[in-house]
A and B are shown apart, each in its own frame.
Chain A
Amino acid sequence: EVQLVESGGGLVQPGGSLRLSCAAFGFRFDDYAMHWVRQVPGKGLEWVSGINWNSGSIGYADSLKGRFTISRDNAKNSLFLQMNSLRPEDTALYYCGKDNSGYYKNGDLDSWGQGTLVTVSS
């Protein structure tokens, strides 16, 4: 059974940084692209970033470029999101999602974690 477990969320001041992690279980992690998607409580879904199976290609939402960095460690079955220069509008539940192909431009997220909450506030 596929399981994705996010961690690293919390309360951070504006301008601060956080590093989110996603531990993957139950599938061959290095065969699949991965994504981060966020959701403000009570609102819709927003794609944040995606990464190919081998980190060879990476993409970001235009509004986030330059502040967020996605990465993965296939040896540790883990996905990461480094978030810098955080703003109050970055407050959201951040989900890790598995693509059903090795390429994030496929965009079919077939498994999701429970999410980790990031709150940016002074």
Chain B
Amino acid sequence: QAGLTQPPSMSKGLRQTATLTCTGNINNIDNRGAAWLQQHQGHPPKLLSYRNNDRPSGISERFSASRSGNTASLTITGLQPEDEADYYCSAWDNSLSAVVFGGGTKLNVL
């Protein structure tokens, strides 16, 4: 089933700022917002931001989420080596009656 669209990869330097994007449609992001997850190789995903853009307890303020229409964004400031990971967006899709995920963006921190 159709999901959300994310760029497959991004490379940024240490201490730089990365902005990851996630594009959906009126049935998912535009309607309900998107959550963001971080996944390091060999580990389960970890929630970075709820659909309402709030951060769970313990998540660094360097991670901030926003939304404009059907596009959600995750901004990571002051990039650190440990930020190198796969980042996924997710949302509830009213049309599909399913949780949909983006294909993930692999963030490389140079």
On A, residues with C-beta under 8 Å from B are 35, 37, 44-47, 50, 59, 61-63, 95, 100, 105-115
Contacts and interface: CB of A to CB of B under 8 A. Distances in A.
Contacts of A115: 44
Given A44-B88, A95-B44, A108 B35 contact: yes
Given A44-B104, A106-B92, A109-B90, A114 B44 contact: yes
Contacts of B76: none
A108 B49 CA distance: 9
A44 B51 CA distance: 19
Contacts of B56: 110
Nearest to A105: B92
In which size bucket is the chain B interface?
A: 20 to 34
Contacts of B90: 45, 47, 107, 109
Nearest to A50: B99
B97 interface: yes
A106 B92 CA distance: 7
Given A44-B101, A107-B91, A114-B44, 13 more contacts: A45-B37, A45-B45, A45-B101, A47-B98, A47-B101, A59-B97, A62-B96, A95-B45, A106-B51, A107-B99, A108-B51, A110-B50, A113-B44
A106 B32 CA distance: 9
Interface of B: 1, 32, 35, 37, 44-47, 50-51, 56, 88, 90-92, 96-104
B12 to A, nearest CB: 21
10 contacts: A45-B37, A45-B88, A46-B101, A47-B100, A61-B98, A95-B45, A108-B50, A109-B35, A109-B47, A113-B44
A37 B92 CA distance: 14
B97 A108 contact: no
A50 B90 CA distance: 14
Contacts of A105: 92, 97
A52 to B, nearest CB: 13
B101 to A, nearest CB: 4
Q: Which of A47, A107, A109 has the most CB of B within 10 A?
A: A107
A108 B101 contact: no
Q: Which of B51, B96, B98 has the most CB of A within 10 A?
A: B98
